[in-house]
């Protein structure tokens, strides 16, 4: 597996805050990101940031509402993408 | 207008996107197309109270000095600014029940009304129709929804302290010119690569006068759910942008085919919101960037394949940080003298500006349930599109129902061509009927 941070959920939450949401937004790893306003542009920015930051490739089949709905579900997706085939 | 001595004189420089729209409005006015305005249609339930809207609109106008400010262009090389120390009344006009609100909405789209924001209200069979007419120089679609949310809030409560700083962001420059040049490179590379294409639009250059017209179709909940099921395998249930752009592109291509004009390139600039999610303001500033999409060639046979190809362009532009590059570019261009800016726009996309305009603005007014006492049933935006390109197709959703607005300039689309477009849109969104 790639060198993913031990607390991937928090790292992803930090990325979501930094790239997409206004500073200080009350987000947790279980916040519904779509309800908080995530749109097509935000998802694409997030996907590419994940690829650049964590060195994983997110395949088309992994880009689903379930995988992008929370920082927690994102972390599970990133771990699957990073796992050797 | 009334003087507002308690308020310091407003001086709000226009942002990069504001200046782009100012140049576009200049082009429109010079060809007799009027101001670049939009109309937002809001359907509200029976509890709506006109007096509450009047009071809320008065409080809102008092708290927003930019509504009474004048545009000052200054010397060549200066950034245009809003200046003023007066408030402007936001008009609220009541119309008799049964009046033709669509006709008046179209009248408002011509931009021949004073001020930069106004409301019109009609009693309807199930409640009221509220039209908010707005100047695009001050507002993008997200800004429009922030205005509606703020007026809705002011219709519920009287704030202790009115908000007065909703008009501008500071323009801090944190990067060196070299860093900015590197940031702008993705824009320049794509812009020049697309310049070699012969871009066509249904209106065609040169710019000429013509009334702004629109038709809107509201799809049922069942139809909207069926559309989502159909799009999900391509969009993953989350990428609306390439899918609806593909639908719009193919609807335009259908008209070009019917005209026997299939050789030109189709290009579309898509506005993407620059505000971070959860950000509330500023209200009165266009804060969008643009992505430049081109029709995939060879032309894919299905909407699915077109959407996949556009998704690839979307990913490539996002990876290259094209949206940021465009923002740097238009920030530089704020200092262009107006004639030079117009000249730049006249040359954009083979003189067409774009092949058409398109946006999917997502859920309309999310999180706001009531407006001045009435529950919000539906809402959508209708902008006045410039000619060229002369056409635009816009989508939004409210509580599981999609609304599509087809906008055009009189003389650009015949009734048969509009019917052809709607047929193509329905076929792509819903599948074979």
Residue A1 within any structural domain of the chain: no
Residue of B nearest to A33 (CA): B277
pLDDT in tens, A18-33: 888 876 668 899 999 9
Which candidate in A18, A41, A60 is best for mutational testing of the B interface (most B CBs within 10 A)?
Answer: A41
d(CA A13, nearest CA chain B) in Å: 14
Residue-level pLDDT at B297: 87
Give the angle B231-B237-B240 at the CA atoms, nearest 5°. 70
Has residue A3 been placed in a domain? Answer: no
Asked if residues B132 and B118 have their Cβ atoms less than 8 Å apart, the reply is yes
Express each pLDDT in B365-389 by its tens digit: 988 999 999 999 999 999 999 999 9
Rounded Cα distance between A33 and A28, Å, is: 10
Q: Is residue A24 part of a domain?
A: yes
pLDDT of residue B290: 94
Provide the domain count of chain A: 1
Nearest CA in chain A to B271: A41
pLDDT in tens, B304-355: 999 999 999 999 999 999 999 999 999 999 999 999 999 999 888 888 999 9
Give me the domain span that covers residue A49.
8-82
Say how many C-beta atoms besides its own lie within 10 A of residue B191's C-beta: 17
| A17 inside domain | yes
pLDDT at B253 over 50: yes
Nearest to B251 by CA among B205, B306, B214, B211: B306
DSSP string, B196-240: TS-B--SS-SSP----EEEEEEE--HHHHHHHHHHHHHHHTTT-H
Buried b (16+ CB within 10 A) or exposed e, A13-42: bebbbeebbeeebebebebebbebbbbbbb
Whole-number pLDDT of residue A9? 95
Q: Which residue carries 């936001």 as its tokens?
A: B90
Taking the C-alpha atoms of residue B280 and residue B45, their distance in angstroms, rounded to an integer, is 26
- Per-residue model confidence (pLDDT) at position B255: 98
- Band the pLDDT of B279: cuts 50, 70, 90: low
Task: Flag whether A61 is in a domain.
Answer: yes
Residues 6+ apart with CB under 8 A from B104: B95, B120, B131
At B98 the pLDDT is: 85
- Mean pLDDT, all residues of chain B: 91
- Which sign does the torsion angle of CA B52, B54, B56, B58 carry? negative
Locate the DSSP E strands across B144-188: none
Q: Do A64 and B237 touch (CB under 8 A)?
A: yes
B362 and A39 in contact by Cβ < 8 A? yes
Pairing between β-strand B81-84 and β-strand B37-44 as defined by DSSP bridges: unpaired
Q: Which of A44, A65, A68 sits opposite B318 (nearest CB)?
A: A44
| Chain A interface disruption, residue of B318, B358, B366, most A CBs within 10 A | B318
> What's the pLDDT at B263?
84
Of the candidates B85, B291, B111, the one whose C-alpha atom is nearest the C-alpha of residue B187 is B291
Outline where DSSP puts E strands in chain A. none
- Beta carbons of A20 and B314 less than 8 Å apart: no
* Distance in angstroms (rounded) separating the CA atoms of residues B193 and B197: 8
Place B172 in a pLDDT band, splitting at 50, 70 and 90: low
Mutate to test the interface with B, among A17, A44, A50 (most CBs of B within 10 A): A44
Picking from B278, B314, B362, the nearest residue to A25 by CB comes out as B278
Choose among A37, A48, A63: nearest Cβ to B238. Answer: A63
pLDDT tens for B180-190 read 889 999 999 98
Distance (Å) from the alpha carbon of A40 to chain B's nearest alpha carbon: 5
CATH number at residue A27: 1.10.1200.10
Residue B93, H or E segment: strand B91-94
Chain A residues in contact with B290 by the CB 8 A cut-off are none
Interface check for B279 against chain A (CB to CB < 8 A): the answer is yes
pLDDT average, residue stretch B272-283? 74
Contacts of B56 (CB under 8 A, 6+ apart): B151, B152, B154, B155, B372
Category of A68 on φ-ψ map: left (φ > 0), alpha (ψ -120 to 50) or beta: alpha
Tell whether A73 is covered by a domain: yes
Contact B319 A48 (CB under 8 A): yes
| Ranges in chain A, pLDDT < 50 | none
């Amino acid at each position: 597996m790639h060198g993913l941070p031990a607390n991937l959920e928090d790292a992803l939450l930090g990325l979501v805050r930094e790239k997409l949401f206004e500073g200080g937004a009350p987000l947790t790893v279980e916040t519904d990101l779509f309800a908080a306003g995530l749109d097509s542009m935000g998802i694409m920015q997030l996907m590419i940031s994940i690829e650049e930051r964590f060195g994983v490739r997110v395949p088309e089949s992994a880009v689903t509402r379930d995988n992008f709905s929370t920082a927690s579900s994102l972390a599970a997706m990133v771990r699957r993408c990073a796992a050797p085939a | 207008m009334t003087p507002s001595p308690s308020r310091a004189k407003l001086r709000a420089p226009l942002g990069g996107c504001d200046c782009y729209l100012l140049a576009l409005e200049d082009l429109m006015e010079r060809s007799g197309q009027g101001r670049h305005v939009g109309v937002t249609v809001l359907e509200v339930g029976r509890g709506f109270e006109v007096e509450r809207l009047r009071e809320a609109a008065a409080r809102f106008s008092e708290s927003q000095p930019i509504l009474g400010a004048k545009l000052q262009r200054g010397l060549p090389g200066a950034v245009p600014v809003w200046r003023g120390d007066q408030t402007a009344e936001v008009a609220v006009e009541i119309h008799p029940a049964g009046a033709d609100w669509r006709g008046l909405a179209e009248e408002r789209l011509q931009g021949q009304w004073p001020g930069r924001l106004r409301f019109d209200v009609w009693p309807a069979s199930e409640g009221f129709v509220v039209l908010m007419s707005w100047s695009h120089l001050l507002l993008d679609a997200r800004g429009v929804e922030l205005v509606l949310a703020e007026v809705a809030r002011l219709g519920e409560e009287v704030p202790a302290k009115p908000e007065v700083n909703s008009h501008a962001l500071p323009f801090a420059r944190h990067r060196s010119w070299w860093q900015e040049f590197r940031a702008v490179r993705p824009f320049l590379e794509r812009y020049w690569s697309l310049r070699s294409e012969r871009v066509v639009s249904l209106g065609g250059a040169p710019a000429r006068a013509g009334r702004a017209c629109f038709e809107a179709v509201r799809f049922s909940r069942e139809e909207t759910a069926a559309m989502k099921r159909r799009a999900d395998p391509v969009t993953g249930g989350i990428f609306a942008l390439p899918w609806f752009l593909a639908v719009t592109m193919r609807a335009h291509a259908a008209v070009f085919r019917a005209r026997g004009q299939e050789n030109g390139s189709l290009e579309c600039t898509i506005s993407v919101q620059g505000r971070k999610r959860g950000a509330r303001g500023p209200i009165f500033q266009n804060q969008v960037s643009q992505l430049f999409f081109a029709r995939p060639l060879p032309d894919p046979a299905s909407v699915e394949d077109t959407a996949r190809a556009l998704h690839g362009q979307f990913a490539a532009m996002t990876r290259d940080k094209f949206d940021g590059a465009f923002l740097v570019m238009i920030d530089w261009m704020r200092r262009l003298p107006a004639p030079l800016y117009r000249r730049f726009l006249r040359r954009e996309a083979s003189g067409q500006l774009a092949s058409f305009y398109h946006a999917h603005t997502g859920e309309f007014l999310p999180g706001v349930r009531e407006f001045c006492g009435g529950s919000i049933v539906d809402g959508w935006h209708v902008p006045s599109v410039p000619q060229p390109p002369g056409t635009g197709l816009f989508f939004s959703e409210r509580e599981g129902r999609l609304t599509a607005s087809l906008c055009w300039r009189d003389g650009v689309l015949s009734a048969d061509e509009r019917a052809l477009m709607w047929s193509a849109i329905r076929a792509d969104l819903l599948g074979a009927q």
